[in-house]
Amino acid sequence: DGVTEVLAHHSENLQSKFVEIPCSEDYDSHKRFEGCTPRKCGRGVTDAVITREEAARIRRIAERGLSLGGSDGGASILDLHSGALSLGKHFVNLYRYFGDKIQDIFTEEDFALYRDVRRRIQQRIAQAFGISSSSMYLTKPTFFSRINNTEAKTTHDEYWHPHVDKVTYGSFDYTSLLYLSDYTEDFGGGRFVFMDAGSNKTIEPRAGRVSFFTSGSENLHRVEKVRWGTRYAITISFTCNPDHGIGDPVLM
């Protein structure tokens, strides 16, 4: 594993931490959008954008949605935008599968909070990278994840492989994660690891903590296997290309 350096400890309450790193060439093979496509690259962490109380409310949305399904393996996914929900070894469309019953599971307040949290994260990313938040568009997949130590049954469950978001999902330019549970209290393992030449930089999840980064190869990363407990997070991703933009989820 080489040398591991902790970028953000779970016990810290970080106002703001930002590390600038040179951009990879990944953005050159995509259409550039002036004033949005990364020219400054890096990674940031903040505990000052979302409160722990808001994180607990968002987590309850995830728990209610994921209680309707869940993967047989280590990673369960809930995407409120597309309706994708892990069910056994497959995915179902939450909105089609449960129809009108969905009104009993989620409220308008849930979706309003979700939109507000997304907007604040978007503004913080724009501020950190010196771009206009109106030039960024939410893109897919944007999803809740619930990870425990159940063995992976399908390749979808194998969340721990190193990857580059821009390579995996061409539309991504900026990736963010909002953590909804606490490292060492709610789960063990499951840290987020940036894999740099010669050393790893890790982020220890803490409810309400937002980590964000440019999506190219400059930020190769992985998530450690969760050894015990349950880790909740939401991945919220942004693109500079309006053709790849998606709207906020709406309660049908």
Strand, helix or coil for residue 54:
helix
What is the bridge-based pairing of β-strands 84-88 and 226-229? unpaired
Q: Is 1 a residue whose pLDDT tops 70?
A: no
User: How far apart are the C-alpha atoms of 63 and 178, rounded to whole Å?
Assistant: 15
Going by pLDDT thresholds of 50, 70 and 90, the confidence category of residue 28 is: very high
Q: Does some domain include residue 246? A: no
CATH of the domain at 220: 2.60.120.620
Kindly report, residue by residue over 117-154, the tens digit of the pLDDT: 999 999 999 999 999 999 999 999 999 999 999 998 88
Q: Does some domain include residue 248? A: no
Going by pLDDT thresholds of 50, 70 and 90, the confidence category of residue 106 is: very high
Region 233-243: mean pLDDT is: 98
- Residues 145, 232: contact at Cβ < 8 Å? yes
Q: Does some domain include residue 177? A: yes
Kindly report, residue by residue over 81-103, the tens digit of the pLDDT: 999 999 999 999 999 998 888 98
What pLDDT score does 56 carry? 98
Q: Does some domain include residue 89? A: yes
Q: Is 14 a residue whose pLDDT tops 60?
A: yes
Q: Does some domain include residue 250? A: no
Strands (E), the chain: 3-8, 17-21, 41-46, 70-71, 75-78, 84-88, 90-93, 137-147, 174-179, 187-189, 192-196, 199-203, 210-214, 221-223, 226-229, 231-239
User: How far apart are the C-alpha atoms of 190 and 85, rounded to whole Å?
Assistant: 21
Q: Does some domain include residue 65? A: yes
For the chain, the 3-state helix, strand and coil shares in percent, each to the nearest 5, are 25, 35, 40
Rg (CA), the chain: 17
Going by pLDDT thresholds of 50, 70 and 90, the confidence category of residue 157 is: confident
Going by pLDDT thresholds of 50, 70 and 90, the confidence category of residue 171 is: very high
What pLDDT score does 154 carry? 83
**Residue reference for tokens 């903590």:** 209
Looking at every residue in the chain, the average pLDDT score rounds to 95
Domain that holds residue 173: 4-30+37-241
What pLDDT score does 19 carry? 97
Q: How many domains does the chain have?
A: 1
Q: Does some domain include residue 249? A: no
- Does 154 or 45 have the greater pLDDT score? 45
What pLDDT score does 2 carry? 60
Question: Is residue 96 annotated as a catalytic residue, yes or no?
Answer: no
- Name the amino acid, one letter, at 172: F
What pLDDT score does 54 carry? 98
pTM above 0.95, yes or no: yes
User: How far apart are the C-alpha atoms of 99 and 88, rounded to whole Å?
Assistant: 20
Region 204-216: mean pLDDT is: 98
